[in-house]
């Protein structure tokens, strides 16, 4: 990745045309444009959550109408059960609706090194906003199961056979590759970006086959964890690190 110097305080853009005008406005009126960018995300949230809540609303209304003339305890129990079932129907629907919206958006997340206030950052911002909608409302309830692995795969993460993901602390799934027979420990953090000196750096995170990421470990972007390696619990693997492949020593003669 290019290491050219970037003026993070600049209010001008090197882009041309509409993109250049948009980026110049973004940098000159940072707080205002940040708020403007939140509006489409709020709309996407409403659509995703509204569609996902619909099965639960249908179930609730059906149960409510069917039991409204029953004894109030029976009615209350039935409504309570319908609300609980509605929550899980919401979550199970959401894990499919959000990846579909993510796929339909005309935005491609790319590796980059840029000011936080750049047009090229917007796809990354939206991709993670959608990921976090599921992460913070439902994903904990299905971790670790094949469903949380399926969600991350639908969001673009490459996950090999036999791998177990026992964490929801994952950002930038479309830039993360996990090989075969890996174990991602509980509350481990996988994140394919980092910030420094006013810049955002987005780069791929590659975890090769048979790797173990320990409990609450953190692994950042621009990292390759070699085959068979173990990242210890609470260990932090900083950007640009190449964890060597584990090679079993031959037995002593």
What is the CATH class of 145-245?
mainly beta
194-210 pLDDT, tens digit each: 988 888 999 999 999 99
Average pLDDT across the chain, whole number: 91
Which residue would you say has higher pLDDT here, 236 or 121? 236
φ, ψ at 109 (rounded to 5°): -80, 125
| Contact yes or no for 243/229 (Cβ under 8 A) | yes
Distance CA 69, CA 181 (A): 55
Distance CA 39, CA 29 (A): 16
Report the side by side order of strands in the sheet with 236-237.
Answer: 170-171, 189-191, 218-219, 236-237
Please give the pLDDT value at position 78: 96
Please give the pLDDT value at position 166: 96
Average pLDDT over residues 97-125: 90
Please give the pLDDT value at position 56: 96
- The DSSP H or E segment spanning 189 is strand 189-191
Domain locations in the chain as residue ranges: 12-142, 145-245
Residue 62 burial (CB < 10 Å; 0-12/13-18/19+)?
A: exposed
Distance CA 176, CA 165 (A): 13
Lowest mean pLDDT among 25-29, 79-83, 215-219: 25-29
| Radius of gyration, CA atoms only, the chain | 22
96-108 pLDDT, tens digit each: 999 999 999 988 9
148-201 pLDDT, tens digit each: 999 999 999 999 999 999 999 999 999 999 999 999 999 999 999 998 888 899
Whether residue 2 has pLDDT greater than 70:
no
Average pLDDT over residues 6-16: 69
Please give the pLDDT value at position 53: 97
DSSP 174: G
Whether residue 1 has pLDDT greater than 80:
no
21-71 pLDDT, tens digit each: 877 777 777 788 888 888 999 999 999 999 999 999 999 999 999 999 999
- Cis peptide preceding 241, ω within 30 of 0: no
For the chain, the maximum distance between any two Cα atoms, rounded to a whole number of angstroms, is 83
């Amino acid at each position: 990745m290019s290491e050219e110097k970037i003026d993070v305080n600049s209010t001008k853009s090197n882009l041309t045309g509409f993109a250049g005008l948009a980026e110049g406005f973004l940098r000159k009126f940072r707080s205002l444009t940040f708020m403007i960018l939140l509006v489409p995300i709020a709309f996407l949230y409403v659509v995703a959550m509204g569609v996902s809540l619909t099965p639960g609303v249908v179930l609730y209304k059906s149960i409510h109408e069917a039991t409204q003339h029953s004894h109030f305890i029976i009615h209350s129990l039935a409504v309570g059960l319908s609300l609980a079932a509605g929550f899980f129907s919401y979550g199970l629907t959401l894990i499919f609706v959000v990846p579909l919206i993510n796929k339909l958006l005309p935005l491609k997340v790319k590796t980059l090194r840029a000011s936080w206030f750049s047009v090229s950052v917007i796809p990354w911002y939206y991709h993670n906003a959608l990921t976090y909608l599921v992460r913070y409302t439902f994903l904990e309830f299905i971790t670790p199961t094949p469903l949380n692995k399926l969600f991350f795969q639908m969001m673009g993460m490459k996950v090999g056979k036999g791998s177990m993901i026992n964490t929801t602390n994952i950002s930038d799934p479309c830039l993360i590759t996990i090989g075969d027979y890996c174990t991602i420990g509980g509350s481990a953090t996988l994140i394919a970006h980092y910030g420094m000196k006013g810049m955002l750096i987005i780069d791929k995170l590659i975890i090769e086959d048979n790797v173990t990421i320990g409990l609450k470990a953190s692994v950042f972007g621009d990292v390759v964890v070699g085959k068979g390696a173990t990242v210890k619990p609470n260990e932090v693997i900083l950007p640009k690190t190449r964890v060597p492949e584990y090679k079993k020593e031959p037995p002593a003669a």
